[in-house]
């Protein structure tokens, strides 16, 4: 929104004209005879934009493209690392789920790691150009990609319901992109510092950190190898710190060329250390979960948990939902629920043998000979009326035929 204030010497209050523009450039025509002693000032408010502005922004499309590319690279990296872990187990070495680190000597695992690094790099850049509410849900594409490859390369079955779940995940991602919010502008590290020190975010981050520490030191050693949610929860909770660090470092990269002094800003190094530590821990526990549990279980559940944490972080930290209309809020939540339902179908119905051929054969199967239909049942009941046990004469005989 562009606010133009026309101030007259005869009127101290002046006149304020508010113009809603698609950019910070606007024009104003003033009659010089009537406004010879007026002064014109303008102030551009970058936090209030039209809902349709994002579709005309080059930055939004760059972020969207990078997010899609990231999803495909990350989905492929999961397959490469899974194949390396299976080959490690086939050679009789200590599995990653049992504390082994033999995968570090496998070139295929490193190939998967580099592919994931490329995907995370693209994801890193996507957060610089687009809101987290847009970038994060597109991870559903990596779920679809990894699930399809797993069914072909590892023999992990994907039935008709699993394929339908992949399509629902894609549909939900599209809905969320359409209703995505405008991101609140954060252009300096000082602004980012103020947001990180907001009491609401400090409480939220403290709860996540405590929960993560409890899972790492108490639940993971005891039930981590039997409960799939433990390892995945650790990776997902750390997603809040990863995304926050990526956002802050993105601001650093945009400003370091014109303002080298940001290299000495304490927040730069705090965010860098936080990002490195959280990524290392996430890789460790994601390897354990992939080695212990089915890929078709690990990745969809990880996506749902991680996306939930990141969306909550975006709401609390960046206030991305503050300017959304009711329709966009409902659309965003609905799209996310569609994604959750889709990835849940991959998990809950993975063992059912449901194919198009079986459905077609069941629907077209003729009625077996000798099996009485409804009409035949009625005739049999009427014909056998005389064989029914005797009833009291004072009571009427009632037969219900349905």
Report the chain's mean pLDDT, rounded to a whole number.
74
Which has more pLDDT, 287 or 396? Answer: 287
- As a whole number of angstroms, the distance between CA 341 and CA 330 comes to 16
Which has more pLDDT, 7 or 187? Answer: 187
pLDDT of 337 higher than 80: yes
pLDDT of 398 higher than 80: no
Span 99-103, mean pLDDT? 65
Which has more pLDDT, 128 or 242? Answer: 242
Secondary structure E strands in 136-220: none
Which has more pLDDT, 356 or 174? Answer: 174
Which has more pLDDT, 121 or 374? Answer: 121
pLDDT above 90 covers a percentage of the chain that reads: 11
pLDDT of residue 123: 81
pLDDT tens column, 39-97: 444 444 444 344 445 666 777 788 888 888 988 888 888 788 878 877 777 776 666 55
Span 158-175, mean pLDDT? 80
Q: Is the Cβ–Cβ distance between 211 and 230 less than 8 Å?
A: no
pLDDT of residue 40: 45
pLDDT of residue 96: 59
pLDDT of 401 higher than 70: no
pLDDT of residue 367: 54
What letters, b where the CB count within 10 A reaches 16 and e where it falls short, cover 14-48? eeeeeeeeeeeeeeeeeeeeeeeebeeeeeeeeee
Query: DSSP character for 3?
Result: E
For the chain, give every domain's residue range: 2-26+37-44, 128-348
pLDDT of residue 58: 78
pLDDT tens column, 13-45: 445 444 444 444 444 444 444 444 444 444 444
**At 204, is the pLDDT very low, low, confident or very high (cuts 50, 70, 90)?**
very high
pLDDT of residue 54: 60
pLDDT of residue 10: 45
pLDDT of residue 48: 39
Span 298-327, mean pLDDT? 80
pLDDT of residue 286: 87
Q: Which helix (H) or strand (E) holds 2?
A: strand 2-7
Q: Which runs of consecutive H residues, i.e. helices, occur in 293-373?
A: 295-313, 326-348, 356-364
- As a whole number of angstroms, the distance between CA 177 and CA 373 comes to 52
pLDDT tens column, 125-165: 888 787 777 787 777 777 777 777 777 777 666 777 877 88
pLDDT of residue 43: 44
**Length of the chain, in residues:** 402
For 173-177, 187-191, 322-326, which range has the lowest pLDDT when averaged over its residues?
322-326
- As a whole number of angstroms, the distance between CA 239 and CA 127 comes to 13
Distance of CA 114 to the CA centre of its chain: 22
Q: What is the largest CA-CA distance in the chain?
A: 112
Span 309-331, mean pLDDT? 81
**At 215, is the pLDDT very low, low, confident or very high (cuts 50, 70, 90)?**
very high
**At 205, is the pLDDT very low, low, confident or very high (cuts 50, 70, 90)?**
very high
């Amino acid at each position: 929104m562009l606010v133009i204030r026309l101030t007259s010497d005869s009127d101290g209050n002046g006149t304020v004209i508010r113009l809603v523009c698609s950019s910070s450039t606007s024009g104003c025509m003033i009659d010089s005879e009537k406004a010879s002693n007026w002064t014109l000032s303008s102030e551009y408010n970058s936090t209030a934009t039209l809902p349709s502005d994002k579709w005309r922004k080059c930055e939004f499309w760059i972020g969207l493209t990078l997010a899609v590319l990231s999803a495909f690279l990350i989905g492929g990296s999961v397959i490469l690392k899974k194949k390396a872990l299976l080959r490690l187990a086939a050679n009789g070495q200590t599995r990653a789920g049992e504390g082994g680190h033999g995968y570090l000597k496998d070139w295929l695992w490193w190939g998967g790691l580099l592919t994931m690094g490329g995907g995370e790099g693209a994801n890193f850049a996507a957060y610089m150009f687009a809101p987290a509410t847009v970038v994060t849900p597109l991870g559903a594409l990596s779920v679809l990609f990894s699930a399809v490859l797993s069914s072909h390369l590892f023999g992990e079955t994907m039935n008709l319901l699993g394929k339908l779940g992949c399509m629902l995940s894609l549909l939900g991602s599209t809905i969320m992109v359409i209703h995505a919010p405008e991101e609140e502008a954060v252009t300096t590290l000082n602004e980012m510092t103020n947001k990180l020190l907001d009491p609401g975010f400090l409480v939220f981050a403290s709860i996540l950190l405590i929960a993560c520490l409890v899972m790492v030191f108490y639940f993971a050693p005891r039930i981590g190898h039997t409960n799939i949610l433990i390892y995945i929860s650790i990776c997902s909770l750390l997603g809040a710190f990863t995304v926050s660090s990526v956002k802050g470092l993105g601001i650093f990269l945009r400003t370091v060329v014109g303002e080298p002094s940001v290299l000495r800003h304490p927040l730069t190094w705090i965010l860098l250390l936080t990002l490195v530590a959280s990524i290392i821990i996430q890789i460790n526990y994601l390897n354990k979960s992939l080695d212990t549990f089915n890929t078709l279980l690990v990745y969809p559940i990880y996506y749902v948990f991680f996306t939930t944490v990141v969306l909550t972080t975006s709401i609390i930290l960046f206030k991305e939902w503050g300017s959304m209309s009711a329709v966009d809020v409902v659309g965003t939540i609905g799209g996310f629920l569609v994604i959750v339902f889709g990835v849940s179908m991959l998990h809950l119905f993975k063992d059912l043998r449901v194919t198009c051929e079986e459905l077609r054969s069941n629907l077209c199967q003729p009625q077996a000979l000798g099996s009485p239909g409804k009409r035949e049942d009625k005739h049999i009941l009427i014909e056998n009326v005389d064989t029914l046990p005797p009833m009291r004469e004072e009571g009427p005989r009632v037969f219900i035929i349905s």
